[in-house]
Structure 1
Amino acid sequence: MDTSIARRNILARIRAAQGRDAEPSASEREAAAEYLTRHPAGPRPEMPADLVTRFVEEAQKMATTVDTVQAMSEVPAAAHRYLTQHALPLQAIAWQTLQELPWAEAGLSVEFRKPQDGDVVGLTGCFCATAETGTLVLLSGPQTYASAGLLPETHIAIVPASRIVSGHEEAFGLIRKERGELPRAVNFVSGPSRTGDIEQTIVLGAHGPYRVHVIVVHGA
């Protein structure tokens, strides 16, 4: 569901209550862009030249499992290998943006829709990923529904090596550069869902997937 019109209407009412025009003026946008440009960044850890290796190391620290392939065409076979090794179903739901991959040839039954009760495996891509924390950055949209990586017990994410950036600052910069504005939801996924609410004991899968598996594609 596209909520961009509703969001613009809500923001327009807020601006009207402040005595401003419904849409930001060019000068307002320029002032905001200037602020972002000159605003000093806080202290950050040094990052290596090899962001892919750093991403994999940090992702594994967060209980994410990682596999690597050389081309997008190899992703379905890698997903099949992971699911078979863990005795998981070979049926999955996926983002519509992944329809062109040879899932059936790899022995997987994939439906390109939002998850429903009983769907155990969700396949997604990502907008980008951050090497600093081993985090996936997922943007919601009509073909990239957020629920695909949140509701199924197993989340398999495809990460092109070329889309791994240093940190969250670079991720938001990339969103502004390529999308212009934030979508309805921006999800930062760092490993399986977990909680320590009860007796400070870590429990996986409390509010989302029990498993997060990443397939890094070096040739993409």
Structure 2
Amino acid sequence: MNTDTARAAILAQIRARQGRPAAQHAMEVADVEVDIGRHVRGPQPALGDRADRIARFTAQAQALQTRVARVASAQDVPAAVAAYLHEQALPLNGVAWDTLAAHPWAEAGLTLEYRPPRDEDKLGLTGCFCAVAETGSLVLASSPATPSSTHLLPETHIAIVPASRIVPALEDAYALLRAELGELPRALSTVSGPSRTGDIEQTIVLGAHGPYRVHVVIVDAD
């Protein structure tokens, strides 16, 4: 039994217990589509201008144990990345998205390959589709040039975040996805700090299912 068949069987049982027909009426389907299309938003905190969004994102990301740096322009990104790696005594080589190839990494002493990561790769550099001020989260959309494995497999994930792509809330991120992509990508990740688990004696352990550390470089200039 495939997933669609199993889901249909479960829903049919629920409808039968409610004394309703096994199949949805056409009007019910239409009502559901209208409700989904409304994109109703729940209560949200008030977030003001761009400066407020950057400040809120920074505070929330740091609360999630994400390190945050801020630079004036894209030309400053490699030096900021190199400074973080030196500070953490981490290697200066790794893999990156194709979309980051134009940065002058070599001038900062970094050696990057533009491919999906392998087991031995310890550093993954990515951009992001957008970032969410309310939660301090990164939203990453997969594509051939932006594979999800780059932020999932290496022990260290560094993300480049244009300040203009920091949106107030998660609902705004989905609205931006609909406006710019038209549909969801094959994989959509919301990254809220390093991977962690508390399964063993409720003790938080980082790097359980992904990176041990996450570092964000916010770029002020568009």
TM-score for both structures, normalised by structure 2: 0.83
1:39 Cα shift? 4.7
Superposed CA deviations along residues 9-32 of structure 1, whole A, max 9, x for unmatched, are x99xxxxxxxxxxxxxxxx99x94
| Contact in 2 for aligned 1:48/1:54 (Cα 8 Å) | no
Aligned residue number for residue 44 of structure 1: 44
The partner residue of 2:159 within 142, 157, 160 is: 157
Per-residue deviation, residues 98-119 of structure 1 (Å, max 9, x unmatched): 1111001111000000000110
- Give the aligned residue type for 1:47: L
Q: Which amino acid in the other structure matches residue 42 of structure 1?
A: G
Deviation of 1:41 after TM superposition, in Å, equals 1.9
Gap runs ≥5 in structure 1: 1-9, 12-27
- Distance in 1 between the 2:176 and 2:39 partners? 17
Letter in 1 for 2:167: V
Match of 1:101 in 2: 103
- In 1, the alpha carbon distance for the partners of 2:143 and 2:40 equals 31
Superimposed CA distance per residue, residues 42-97 of structure 1 (whole angstroms, 9 cap, x where no aligned partner):
22222243101110000000000000001011111110000011100000100011
Flag structure 2 segments of 5+ consecutive residues without an equivalent: 5-28
Structure 1 outlier segments of 4+, above 6 Å: none
Name the CA distance, whole Å, in 1 between partners of 2:39 and 2:93. 47
What amino acid maps onto 2:60 in structure 1? Answer: E
Determine what percentage of the aligned residue pairs are the same residue. Answer: 58
The answer to whether structure 1 residue 169 and structure 2 residue 151 are counterparts is no
- Residues matched between the structures, number: 194
1:74 to 66, 73, 76: 76
- 1:18 corresponds to which residue? none
Q: Is the 8 A contact 1:52 1:161 kept in 2?
A: yes
Asked if residue 196 in structure 1 is aligned to residue 205 in structure 2, the reply is no
> What displacement does 1:36 show?
4.5
Q: CA RMSD in A?
A: 1.9
Residue 122 of structure 1 contacts residue 156 of structure 1 at CA under 8 Å; is this kept in 2? Answer: yes
Q: Supply the distance in 1 between the matched residues of 2:203 and 2:39 (Cα, whole angstroms).
A: 39
Cα distance in structure 2, aligned partners of 1:171 and 1:160: 14
Mapped contact 2:44–2:169 kept (Cα < 8 A)? no
| Per-residue deviation, residues 95-153 of structure 1 (Å, max 9, x unmatched) | 01111110011110000000001100000000000000000000000000000001000
Return closer, same or farther for 1:198/1:74 CA change in 2, 3 Å cut-off: same
Write the distance in 2 (CA, Å) between the matches of 1:109 and 1:38: 47
Scaled by the length of structure 1, the TM-score of the pair is 0.84
